[in-house]
A and B are shown apart, each in its own frame.
Chain A
Amino acid sequence: MPDSKTRPRVGLFATCLVDLFRPSVGFAAAKLLDDAGCSVVVPSQTCCGQPAFNSGDRRTTREIAEQVIAAFDDCDYVVAPSGSCAGMMAKHYPELFAGEPDMAARANAFAAKTHELVSFLTDVMGMQSVLAQFDGTVTYHDSCSGLRELGVKSQPRKLLETVRGLDLVEMNESDVCCGFGGTFAVKYGEISAAIAGKKTANVAASEAHVLLAGDLGCLMNMAGKLSREGKTIAVRHVAEVLAGMTDDPPIGVARDA
């Protein structure tokens, strides 16, 4: 393991959903980054601005983006346990400031050092395996932004295969949207849930006992749909399993259940 001088300073952008709903994912991410040889810091943060961006509110988005860029100024890398938020920061922040001499350069530099957690571990830190145990059959859902904006597909599967006791099975249409889509899930709730229903059918047909993905928004959507349908498939963020931190109950399951 590199000593503290060579350990890159990684700013963990927890994402607002992890911060608020599932802090255990933040701790799992921090553990994985630490294991990979990073020095992890958590600067004061709120949200990446995606709800405003996708609602057409450019001004608010810019204000939030400026705040995030400043907060992580002294980090070598910015890592988020979410392809969606990482995609927002790495792909869309530069669009917001394109053509503005000072901010464009800062946004581009920020974007260049921003990564989704699992692909950062494998592609930047060279992580080949994890020291974790998880007994069960799992299936992995490719969240859209991570998959299409950042090319996250093989990385989580590669690391999952090194988890002792874990059996990975592929569901049909693993790369098809779960219907979450941020504010879409509330604005067009009925359509969102209909799309989620096709996803949960594919999950159930895979006969996996556990559903994993790299984005908490998608996970909450799928977990909410599964429980409404009375299906008892456990839903977790992939980081929890990779970090071997699965003591907390799955998403949507009570602690004392």
Chain B
Amino acid sequence: MTLHPTSPHFKDNAHRAMADAQLQKALGNTRTGFIEKRALAMSKLPEFDALRDAARDIKNHTLAHLDLYLEAFEKKVVEAGGHVHFARTAEEANDIIVGLCKQYSAETVTKGKSMISEEIGLNAAIEAAGMKAVETDLGEYIIQLRHETPSHIIAPAIHLNKEQVEQDFRRVHTDLPKERDLSQPTQLLTEARGVLREKFLAADVGITGANFLIAETGTSIIVTNEGNGDLTQTLPETHIVVASIEKLVPTLEDASQLLRVLARSATGQDMSVYTTFSTGPRRAADVDGPQNYHVILLDNGRSSMLGGEFEEMLRCIRCGACMNHCPVYHAVGGHAYGWVYPGPMGAVLTPSLIGVEKGGNLPNASTFCGRCEEACPVRIPLPKLMRHWREREFERNLSPAVARYGLSAWAVFAKRPKLYRIATSVAMRVLGFAGRRKGRFASLPFAGGWTKFRDMPAPQGRTFQEQWRDRGGAR
């Protein structure tokens, strides 16, 4: 069972988020960090824009031939001694993974950070089958302790402050001395490392996602900064990779190109600290590595995006730059979006995966400022795709009735210049007269969405076109 979406209640979620002082503090701390680091990394690489074009082209090519590359990838994984499983839905993926865990008599399952596992609700499925799932990425570990979901695709606990983490560690790590000092982030990190080290050694199965899958070699790649992914996939007897089908790229060379834009766009690093390639299980001469290697390829709605107007969204390499640059995300944080993927990429992807009936709020909650598209390393036209969702909603009468009536009333005038001229001439005189004392309105009928939160400047009075005519201006 995947996460129950609260996206239909986006406005309420956002309202709560904006009233949450702890959250606002955490968001304030992060509003500029990612942006400055990315800008610096870009400035040091003159070919960055050319690399973005190349990255876009690689993904476009792969998507156009995805069937071929999926087959080629499967063949190579099998040749290397691994197994490939195709899952149409979240339920199928969970069934396959839980089945494998049972087959290998797993008790403890460690996990590297994976948004796909969030999308399919994998932890819940593993726990329901009586096994223990342990997140090993620090941010994921923290939110697992709190029974929360990630609020950012690369920084899952970015909505928290260190004081909150300290409280959680004291609540859960009860076998450690009560008087220990946890006031510094490094102390929190050290404590988590100690606790997680035991889990790594105890784990029977390690599950990771994949940043890329390489068709040429049957390789899965993970990119991390903590090294937890390596311990997750190397130490246990079995390594299971769960990844969605659009993670495919044709060759090692292609993956290298994409890696050059990924970390720079995400954290501003030239490369992440660990970029790890896994090809099949341990070979005879290898000193370590898993005995068993499985890849679950998840569709979950993606194949139906191929060839359609949302196909470009499948280029996404999950760097998070769009949300890092999004004023709406900065204001409300990731949880307000109400499902797995927040920010601009989530606003496009969510309706594709859970339906526009449930996800329709998200593509509407954008000012179309265009900063996301400007930052996207694979040049996804996010505002355009959000607008396409609005078009689908409009066609199907899904947009709110008030908005529809307002729009059609406005259209009556916008389409008829003469009528517009007469109506606005009267309306602006009235409004201008009403607002003449203060120059603004603190409340206005039909504009409560505006005036509840800020004043509405009053019009000057007579319209420009009326005055232009009166002065004998050329038309």
Residues of chain A at the chain B interface (Cβ within 8 Å): 14, 16, 18-27, 30, 39-47, 49, 51-58, 60, 63-64, 67, 71, 144-145, 148-149, 176-177, 179-196, 198, 220-221, 223-225, 227-228, 248-249, 251-257
Contacts and interface: CB of A to CB of B under 8 A. Distances in A.
B424 interface: yes
B14 A64 contact: no
Nearest to A173: B32
Interface in B411-442: 411, 413-418, 420-421, 424, 427-428, 435-440, 442
A18 B410 CA distance: 16
Interface string B457-475: 1111011110110000111
Contacts of A19: 424, 463-465
B366 A148 contact: no
A181 B450 CA distance: 12
A208 B51 CA distance: 40
Interface in B312-368: 327-328, 330-332, 364-368
SS class, residues of chain B in contact with chain A: helix
A47 B439 contact: no
B425 to A, nearest CB: 10
B307 interface: no
SS class, residues of chain A in contact with chain B: helix
B65 interface: no
Query: Which of B399, B442, B450 gathers the greatest number of chain A CB atoms within 10 Å?
Result: B450
B456 interface: yes
Contact of B399 (A51, A55, A198): A55
17 contacts: A20-B424, A26-B464, A26-B468, A44-B417, A47-B410, A47-B414, A57-B394, A145-B370, A184-B366, A186-B449, A191-B18, A221-B454, A225-B455, A251-B457, A252-B455, A254-B435, A255-B436
List the 3 closest A-B pairs by CB distance, nearest first. A181-B367, A193-B453, A56-B390
B453 A189 contact: yes
A249 B369 CA distance: 29
Contacts of A30: 468, 473
Given A51-B410, A55-B403, A191-B18, A23 B467 contact: yes
Given A60-B415, A188-B11, A254-B439, A23 B453 contact: no
Interface of B: 11, 14-15, 18, 327-328, 330-332, 364-371, 373-374, 387, 389-395, 399-400, 403, 407, 410-411, 413-418, 420-421, 424, 427-428, 435-440, 442, 447-450, 452-460, 462-465, 467-468, 473-475
A185 B415 CA distance: 23
B457 A252 contact: yes
Query: Which of B394, B411, B436 gathers the greatest number of chain A CB atoms within 10 Å?
Result: B411
B465 A228 contact: no
Contacts of B447: 186
Given A14-B464, A44-B475, A55-B394, A249 B439 contact: yes
A54 B394 contact: no
Contacts of A191: 14, 18, 328, 331-332, 365
B206 to A, nearest CB: 40
Nearest to A39: B474
A12 B230 CA distance: 62
Contacts of B454: 193, 196, 221, 224-225, 227-228
A254 B393 CA distance: 41
A58 B394 CA distance: 9
Query: Which of A27, A40, A56 gathers the greatest number of chain B CB atoms within 10 Å?
Result: A56
Given A190-B18, A192-B453, A149 B370 contact: yes
Contacts of A177: 327, 367, 369, 371
Given A176-B327, A188-B365, A224-B457, A148 B371 contact: yes
A144 B415 contact: no
A150 B411 CA distance: 26
Contacts of A254: 435-440, 458
B440 A41 contact: no
